[in-house]
Structure 1
């Protein structure tokens, strides 16, 4: 799974660099994991150039090269499932046949298997947070779908491919997609597709919508939230609701970039938000740009490791946030190198449908994040108060100017969300 996490994180930063070209000095917020998983669903049914381009852009080719012993857990689990379903008498022959038999698309199947394990781990957190990853393919009903593909999408990606009537009833199809996304996001993501964004020429749509909200491990007391300036640029500021909290936090400092990195854990410590805050200067956006240019998978792993982020007594100031963003990714992904699947004459999605005319019409990614004092529910304050009273000296972390952040699943070190805040 480590290779998959590395591939997803590398794609995260490549995607950010591409998005930043059209979102210069704007807020950015997206889910690299859900995007990778969504595109991997397409990869499962892609062949030839359509598959190779996805592998290169999402670093899946590195995953297959580095799989090593990672191949065993998925194939072993499939073997055990088959053995469990077979009779005792047939177990030996079933095991031998599975060992000898190679899957028809081994790299894509292995990739999907590991995605399945990772998504299952995330599903187990739903009792502690609201994390809705709504991925689904909608295909024109005139294109027959391979049963093996439908089964694999359910097994590995915990979703389905739905047949709709884009050609004869585009508006009904649009409404059905919007309704599903709204229901999956607890009503937070509405009208994913506005009118006229889908046409009767649409044949295959990849929908990717994510909503997240969780409770802080150390919650901010709303009585300490005050109006305060957020320094947008050299000569501009805006008033925001600034939350304040004192307590023990993991805090690091990136010397070469003069940047603080703070970890704020969510309840039970399974998830954390990491905030990378450049030093306040006359031009805060320049410091932010320098930080963004230097972020890589290897560096972020080093910067955020426990050895470089000791626990300190920290006075934290952090703005309330509601980030909502929507990206039509056709152009973005094509600029990154995924072109064949969007071209009716070049796409090879024969693993999805035997019809040679199937191609990807549209990819939409929409996200919603809320950050407030409590998350979704307040918790008892006594423990925090005791920690505050016993502290004698404090480090200061004041996020009153632009910063970068990411939300990570700590057990797997998977980056669930990545964003830039220029204006809360």
Structure 2
């Protein structure tokens, strides 16, 4: 499963680069985990080049390289399936064996789905301390029959299903049905996922992916300390924001190669944390931010956010309130990244979803919502007594009064839930 987490993280940074390449000054917020899972659902039913392109862009083709000393239940699951298939072929006798390429793709698919099933099950079990609503569903034109094996797979591994709707004869009702489901799954925060005219009677398969997240800080920001303060958008532009403030013990580090600070802001019980990457304050803050963005890789994020690089210190934290709501029509973005065939009516091979060879992916929409404010509960047992009480203040300063990057991570298994950029709170 570790290799799936690494693959999801690599896709996260690739996707960020693609989204941000045409606008270096806009807020960005997306959920790579749920998007990878959603495209994993498509991969489950994709075949030939349609499957290979998804594997390459989402780094799913790197899963087989995983080596672990611990027993891997997914590898055992795959071995059982291989034995069962061999036994079935033996009973049929003389059945033509699938090609080595097809067999390899099938094994890869089963491994991927099993790892996603494991990961999503673990994350489902730890949601008592925060709200994470992932609305993940495929909507298919009802005239396209769905393979029973595919239905079983998305239910078992991806904790969702594919639903038939009447895009052709009742387009507007289908649109409203999808929007209502997403709104109910996202605590009412994500409304009108599909606006009018985004779905038409030519639509055949829609991938819906909407995420809502809210959690409380481990160390809350006292509302009394929140003040109006300037936030530098660029060299000549500032805006007034609600700036929260507290002094406390936090893990903090300095990244020498990009001259940036990294701060961990843990959520309740420390299972999840927000990591903030703050470039140096300069005459051109956006240029410094873009320099940081160009240097980020999965391997570097792992190193930068490690406990070795981030000792716990007393830190004076100034951090802005913000609410981000973002929506992406991912068709063109994913095509630019290399996933092209599934969107092409003549080239798509989604015969693992439906035996109808005309099925292709009409639209992929991703919508997110996050709120960041003072709310939180004070850490249990924090008495405030420390050995530095008698000495002069010696805390570090972390002042997020200019554009920064952030990601929200599950700390035990290193899964990046969300990744974002704040240029204008």
* TM-score, normalised by the number of residues in structure 1: 0.92
Deviation at 1:64, TM superposition (A): 2.5
**8 Å CA contact retained: 1:322, 1:370:** yes
Aligned partners of 2:120, 2:209: CA distance in 1, in Å? Answer: 14
Gaps in structure 1 of 5+ consecutive residues: 83-93
**8 Å CA contact retained: 1:272, 1:410:** yes
Aligned partners of 1:154, 1:97: CA distance in 2, in Å? Answer: 21
Q: Does 1:37 align with 2:33?
A: no
Aligned partners of 1:218, 1:196: CA distance in 2, in Å? Answer: 45
Aligned partners of 1:65, 1:78: CA distance in 2, in Å? Answer: 15
**8 Å CA contact retained: 1:273, 1:407:** yes
Deviation at 1:231, TM superposition (A): 0.5
Deviation at 1:121, TM superposition (A): 1.1
Aligned partners of 2:155, 2:186: CA distance in 1, in Å? Answer: 19
Structure 1 residues 67 and 208, CA, compared in 2 at 3 Å: closer, same or farther? Answer: farther
The equivalent of 1:5 in structure 2 is 5
Deviation at 1:96, TM superposition (A): 6.8
Deviation at 1:397, TM superposition (A): 0.1
Aligned partners of 1:168, 1:404: CA distance in 2, in Å? Answer: 45
After superposition, give the CA deviation of every residue in 1:104-135 in whole Å (9 maximum; x if it has no partner): 82111110110111111111122110001111
The equivalent of 2:131 in structure 1 is 130
Residue aligned with 2:424, SS: coil
Q: How many residue pairs were aligned?
A: 409
Aligned partners of 1:362, 1:104: CA distance in 2, in Å? Answer: 25
Aligned partners of 2:77, 2:407: CA distance in 1, in Å? Answer: 32
Deviation at 1:384, TM superposition (A): 6.6
The equivalent of 2:307 in structure 1 is 306
The equivalent of 1:341 in structure 2 is 342
**8 Å CA contact retained: 2:2, 2:66:** no
TM-align CA RMSD: 2.3
Structure 1 residues 96 and 135, CA, compared in 2 at 3 Å: closer, same or farther? Answer: closer
Deviation at 1:396, TM superposition (A): 0.1
**8 Å CA contact retained: 2:8, 2:32:** yes
The equivalent of 1:231 in structure 2 is 232
After superposition, give the CA deviation of every residue in 1:163-201 in whole Å (9 maximum; x if it has no partner): 000000000000000001000000000000001110000
The equivalent of 1:85 in structure 2 is none
**8 Å CA contact retained: 1:41, 1:153:** yes
The equivalent of 2:246 in structure 1 is 245
The equivalent of 1:383 in structure 2 is 382
Aligned partners of 1:281, 1:69: CA distance in 2, in Å? Answer: 47
**8 Å CA contact retained: 2:232, 2:402:** yes
Deviation at 1:232, TM superposition (A): 0.5
Structure 1 residues 140 and 419, CA, compared in 2 at 3 Å: closer, same or farther? Answer: same
The equivalent of 1:166 in structure 2 is 167
**8 Å CA contact retained: 2:24, 2:286:** no
Residue aligned with 1:415, SS: strand
The equivalent of 1:325 in structure 2 is 326
Aligned partners of 2:214, 2:400: CA distance in 1, in Å? Answer: 20
Residue aligned with 1:383, SS: coil
Residue aligned with 2:110, SS: helix
Aligned partners of 2:53, 2:351: CA distance in 1, in Å? Answer: 16
After superposition, give the CA deviation of every residue in 1:81-114 in whole Å (9 maximum; x if it has no partner): x9xxxxxxxxxxx997589788982111110110
* TM-score, normalised by the number of residues in structure 2: 0.91
Question: Residues 404-415 of structure 1: matches in 2 within 5 Å?
Answer: 404-415=405-416
Aligned partners of 2:104, 2:327: CA distance in 1, in Å? Answer: 37
Q: Does 1:364 align with 2:365?
A: yes
Q: Does 1:72 align with 2:72?
A: yes
The equivalent of 1:140 in structure 2 is 141
Q: Does 1:275 align with 2:273?
A: no
Structure 1 residues 388 and 361, CA, compared in 2 at 3 Å: closer, same or farther? Answer: farther
Residue aligned with 2:136, SS: strand
Residue aligned with 1:253, SS: strand
**8 Å CA contact retained: 1:219, 1:374:** yes
Deviation at 1:380, TM superposition (A): 7.5
Structure 1 residues 380 and 121, CA, compared in 2 at 3 Å: closer, same or farther? Answer: closer
Deviation at 1:62, TM superposition (A): 1.2
Deviation at 1:321, TM superposition (A): 1.0
Gaps in structure 2 of 5+ consecutive residues: 89-102
**8 Å CA contact retained: 1:247, 1:387:** no
Question: Residues 149-188 of structure 1: matches in 2 within 5 Å?
Answer: 149-188=150-189
The equivalent of 1:91 in structure 2 is none
**8 Å CA contact retained: 1:277, 1:399:** yes
State which drifts further: 23-32 or 396-405: 23-32
Residue aligned with 2:315, SS: strand
Residue aligned with 2:313, SS: strand
Structure 1 residues 163 and 108, CA, compared in 2 at 3 Å: closer, same or farther? Answer: same
Deviation at 1:25, TM superposition (A): 0.9
Deviation at 1:23, TM superposition (A): 3.3
Deviation at 1:65, TM superposition (A): 3.5
